[in-house]
Structures are given as C-alpha cells and as structure tokens.
Structure 1
C-alpha cells in the first residue's frame, strides 16, 4: 500500500501538536487508515525558529509550492485568517489534494465556495477542529443526525470568554481583572478582540447553523454582541436571580420552519441549566432535535493537543476516503431557509435602569413597557441618595419590541440611564 503524504500549513501551537502526534503515533495511524501516512512538508513564515521533533528538511517558507506538489494527498491548514489560507486551499484542490482545516473565520466567510471547489476537484474538505476544539460536534451534526430534524443549537463555543465570565462569577472580579488573569494564563491573546467581542463565536455559530439547518449561513448573518460591557453588577444581579452569565451561541429554526436565526451574546441562564456548570475554558453545546431530543457535547474547546486531536481525526477520515477512491459528505444547503434578522427573536430580558428615587417612577416605567407590548415578570428597586436602581425582568418578547421600549425609556426625565440590557435564556 502506497504511503499517503501530508503537507502541513502552519506550525504554531496546533500545528506543532499535529506534527508531534503524526510522528509519535505513526504506526497506530497507519493501522487505522490502512496505509502509512507521512509528513512530507511543513510551511512556516519564519524558517529559523527551533521546531523540536520536525526535521529541518521538511521546513519551507514557500507554502504555495508545497501544496502544488503532485505527491501531496492531504493538506492540513492551521494558519488561520482569510488569506493566504483561502488561496492555498484552492490551490490544493486544483492539484488533487484533500484539505483538513481548523479555520473557522475562513469557513464562516466563504465556506460555500470552498465546498464547491472541493466538489469540483473530487476532494474532501473536513473541518471538525474549526468549532469547539476536541469536541466531536460537526460530524455528529452532519452524519449521526442526518436523518433527524435539528431545531436548535445552543452552547458555549469560546473558552476565553467562558473563563472570564467564570472568574467574574466565582471571585466577584470586574471584566478588566478577569481578562488580565486570562491573558496571564494564556487563555486570552495579546489582542483579545476576536474572543471578547464575539467574532470567534459568531464564526462558529455560522458553521453550526449551516450544518444543522442545511442552509448557507455566514458570519455576517450572525447577530453579535461581546462581553466587554458585562459588569460585576450584572453578575451580582444574575446571582440574585439564581442565574449565571454566559456568552452563548444560539442557532434556532423558526416555529413554522421557514427561517433560521443565529446569534451570539451574553445571556443569563439558570444555575440549574447544564451549561451553567461549564467552568473555566471548557466548551459545551446543546443540540435539540425532533427525534433524538436533547444532546449535550462537552469538552476542551481550544488548546494545541485538543485541537490537534480533532485535526487528526479528520486526517484519518480523509485518508481512508483517499484509499477508497471516494469522498465524504460535502456541503448540504438544500433547505435554503431564510436567515432572519435579530428583530424577530423572542426571549426574556433583564433591564437595569438608573432612575430618580421618587414616587411614580415605577408606574412611568411600567407604562412604557406596556405601551410596547413587553410584559413585566419581576421588578427589583433599591434606593440610594435621591437615585435608585431599578431592575426589570420581562416575559418573552421580540427583540424589536424590547429595543423600542428601551429607546422610549431613555426619553423619560426620571430615567437617568439604561445601565445594562441582558437576555435571559434557558427557561
């Protein structure tokens, strides 16, 4: 049986682990695939860095020439970003190679074009590692639940933000303090924008929604709200309600089945909800389907070894397909459902207001909610030297109705400001 040759694009934290596992587990991989698999080249930006365990002759700074080689069977792309990753993947397809990628940003932005290129070339495009690290999630959605109807996917898909919110909840720290600790421990990048502003989670939500609902969904379709405005007061208010704050990715099919929504934002969930117990940098995703019911996938959502585990799982599957002369499942977008904007999403809300501490203010506020069709569930008020904090928790209402309510509240003379607005999920 001929040896299958693999080109590795990128040798950072994940790429290094991929190379290590391919080397140390070579015999096991060969047994599982049915043929030896060999690392034939590693493309990097700077060739002069030490890379223990990787032979110097495998290192190249010319990624394009590496993927053009006629003897390359599979290209593993772990460099991230849009370019040059997209061009390199397309070049790999043009030269007959299949691709394993961990690039959520590229797949969320241009996944349909990449799938089309793979299909045209008779090649595979696998990307289990692009969402939730080591957790087997995309393949169960694509294959195990292929005969079922998925209605909702809800979960924690970013370890950095979960670590920050967990620290704020467990220690009472503010956002800045928790972010500083996350950075010191290596959970947050030097520039944490992609994580804390929700871009990373939104890309993953787009991929999940596309697979779950057989509809093309891009990152641009996903409503996104980060956690930089979450305060210690929000965390304390959630605790008072026996809730906890999590940054959630939520993908839902509409009641009539004609459309879907995808959103990422902080939300309060009950402490009795299974996602409430997901601590530190771990990820967990709930999938709700008609026949299977509720399924939960849990595990480490990032890191070199966990992500490499998902990459190597895809590598085994792709290599098996190569030997069989076949390809695995491609894009399934036959449903072509409408991706609806956030305005029509229905949920509950936690609204914190700074108001004048005098008679009649609560009645004024309640009237505004009623005028916009938003029913109030509970109200909590605490006075402080002429001002007061008023916390309103609503019943279910549309996002559009809540937005109109908040705009009207800001125009009331007795409302000093809207301190925070947070959605309440999982009830």
Structure 2
C-alpha cells in the first residue's frame, strides 16, 4: 500500500510504502499524533467519499433525466416508477468509474433497459432521442458536481492534498487552482477509481485503551479516538463484579470465540502477555488497578507506567476485539506508539515479538512510532524466529520549517 502525503497537518512530505511493519523514528519534539490520525482520517475519508459522491451524483442524474420534456409528458405513475427504479439501480453500483465517459455509458445503459422494460413508457417517447439529449447534460453536470464536492465537503473536512493508493484504491485531492486540471483531461477524469471501502484503521499513536479506561470518554476526543472508544470499550468492555471482563485465567481462555486463529497461535500471544499482565481489578470507588507479575503488586492504573499500560492495551485488544466473534474486527492497519522506556529490561523484546505475531496472524500492516532505534533490530530478529515474511520499512521524522518530512531510511 502506497501513501503519499503533502502539506497534511504537520507532515510536509511523505511517500510511504506499507507492506508489513513500518517503523517511524521520531524525537520528543515530534507531535504525538504525527502519523496515526492522518492515516486514520485518510481511510475514513476514502470510505465516505464513494458514498457521498455517488449519493450526490445519483440525485443529480435523476434530476437531469426527469427535466426532459419527453419525461414530463408521462403519467405520474410512470414518472414514479421510472424515478424509483432508476434510483435503486444507480445505488446498487456504489463505485466510481475511471472516467466520466465510462460512467455515463453505464448510466445510459441502465436507463435504456428500464425504459424498454416499461412498455407504457416506450410507446410514448423516442428512447434513442431521449438518451442522446441527456448525454451531454450528464457530462456537464457530473463534472460540475464532482468539482463542487471536492471544493466543499472533502477540502473543508480534511486536507489540501493527499494521495492514498493500493492495488484497488487510488485517489488524490488538489488545491483549487489545479482542480480543473485534475478533473478534465481531454474531457476525461484522471484516474479516480475507488472500489475499496475499508474503515479499517485503528489509531493508538497518541491515546491508548488504558488512557480511555482511566479518564473516561471526553467530548474533545478526535474522531479516531472516538472510534477506538466505541470499537473496543463502549460495547465489548463490560465490568463483571469487581473485575473487568478480561480473560485472566488459562482455563477461561476456552471461552474465547476466536475466528481464523488456532489454539497454538493464541498461546503464542499469551506466552508474551502472561509474563507481564496478570489482571485488572476495579474497587468500590470505581478505580481500576493493575495486578502485574514483575513485582507481584497492585498499582492504580492512573499511576501505571506507559510500558505496563501498553501490554494491558494489547490484552484488551486481543480479548475484546480481535478474538471476539466479529469477523469485521480485524483492521488492515493499526498504529502504535512504543513506550519511551521500559520498567523491565526484557519488555522491549516482548513488545517486538508481540508486534511480529500481531502482523503475521492478525493485522496486515502495522505502523510503530518509536524513539528507540534498537526496536528495529529486535523486530527483525523475531521475524526470523517466527518465520514471518513481513517486510520492515523504516522512516524518520525530520524537521522541515514548521513541519516534518517522513524520509525513508530502510526498506
């Protein structure tokens, strides 16, 4: 998956290849959400883009077809039939075509079929003449409607320029002064085909599940933080007595509803988690406590170090999201921030191993934001240990005026 960014939030320029594990090397002066929110919003934007644009086009197309004098001569019954039938057929094809010409040919074919199916309509109008008349109207109107959507909804809600593409996804938004060049090239649209609506990014770069659990839901959450809350905590994270509903005992793991992952693989994840996380408890004051094995003690989650919270986040993600009975609960991309330091010297090794397993068995693309170059070698080590075929691409956030470039170092 290729992601090209320019002047997006604090990112001045980035050309990134996501194909396994992507490491972003940063320093303390880099914003806490340098990449996670951008990737998340790019995905959400593309998912909404197809629906919003086609919904708008379907309305415009029906309006154009009903404005013709031939149509106005039809009875109200036939008008209603034609409107409903055509609208339904358009909405079945929620995708954009490579060019406006290609899309218009499909529209005219649909309309021709519907007109000929209804004999009471076909007898009253000359279908060929009718379709010829609306052909040029569709050209003009669809290009205009596309430009208006790019100028208003997309540009207002997100960013001046972004390119996001893979084998079945490609889209680009450009500044207003260049928009006609983007739309028209000898009366054709430059490639704007979008056939994949993914909604498939989890962003945990600046906010973890423990943070939400400790501080609760806030109205000032970003869109990606709200999604994390709703996906992982709001529905699935249910308290049970004095302990949070996590699988803390080995015998309880038989109750997990896991799809597509066998018991041996599940045990590989727990071989790591069991060395760090024991359980989460909630007292009568509604405060959460972590019981962890390294020092065999209980600690208030608010006071827990970032590295311990990180492994609790892993446990919650697995047991209340990836291992649950929802087949859609496996995103294509997840963004993590590695803890700056570790309470235990071996925990970075456990972190690296967990990341490798997560990529191999559950998430195709992982993005790890870190300040520690040692993580690179450790991830590569565990890729060999677990016989993974994942590639490792490394990028560095380098200051550029008031923003940052993400420059490739390894890959």
With structure 2 as the length reference, what TM-score do the two structures score? 0.21
The answer to which structure has the higher strand fraction is 1
With structure 1 as the length reference, what TM-score do the two structures score? 0.21
Bigger relative CO (Cα 8 Å, ≥ 6 apart): 2
Structure with higher Rg: it is: 2
